Structure 1
Amino acid sequence: MASESGLPFSSDMPAAASKPRSIQDIVSVVVDSVWQYVHVAAAAFLFYEDRLLCLYSLVGFASLCCGVVAASRTGGVVPVMGEELWRIAIPASAIISVTTSLGCRIAGWVSAKATCCLCVLVPAAIVGLTTVTVRNDKTARLRL
């Protein structure tokens, strides 16, 4: 039976036509979630192979968290609600960590000089960048 506009009702559709659609939905959900696990496994393998990158990434993440806490304590803002944290601070801290690790690897600094960069330069740069970026974010101030 068709409607007045000539389009069929959903009850007019045979059961076989709706079954492949549900299989397609299941396949798309599986494919959409599998890529996340593939990325996590690839990052774990990369961190296993390059421990200096893993170390710089962990220090970068800890420094980012310290910068967010410092900005929220002193600036009177809600850092995670602002746009600048997600748009500028997080990608910039990732870039700083990865490029510093790569630069140390290329320069051959895998011991004392890399530890100096790790302990002093990277955390200071990321905490400073995050604090300044979040503190100057107007959308984070408006959400109080």
Structure 2
Amino acid sequence: MFDMDQKIDFQAQENATKMIGYVKKAAEITHTVIMADQKASKAVSAIQTQDKSRKWTVLQEYLKEYGAFINNTTLLTGVYVYQVNAEFYAEVNLQELDRQLQIMVGIVYLKEAVRAAVSETYKECLKKLLRKSGIFTEAQLNLL
């Protein structure tokens, strides 16, 4: 067996801590994109079909789930959800349904980005409070 002492240089430890933080941030960003991809996959799949009923059904599912978010972000996006009747469905064409489904894909990504930003804001607030407590080192706080 080896009988060696081990030591990590502080600068190297600080750099390693920074690197771990960057890796963690990249993983979080990647996770956000993966989650948005998964949540938007049904809309993307519906766009690829020529089945009007399927497109409509999927669009309605997304509108039910994201309608409130859409209407709360209208000032930013210019997108608004409102009720339509059976005559609208009868007249709407595949291209219009595809356009609305594509907008939904964008909305899904927007909501995931907002969720991630809110989470990041929460983490930064938590780190600030913990930093003020004086209990944790900066290296420890960087791991959050």
TM-score by structure 1 length?
0.32
- Structure number having the greater helix percentage: 1
**Bigger Rg, structure 1 or 2:** 1
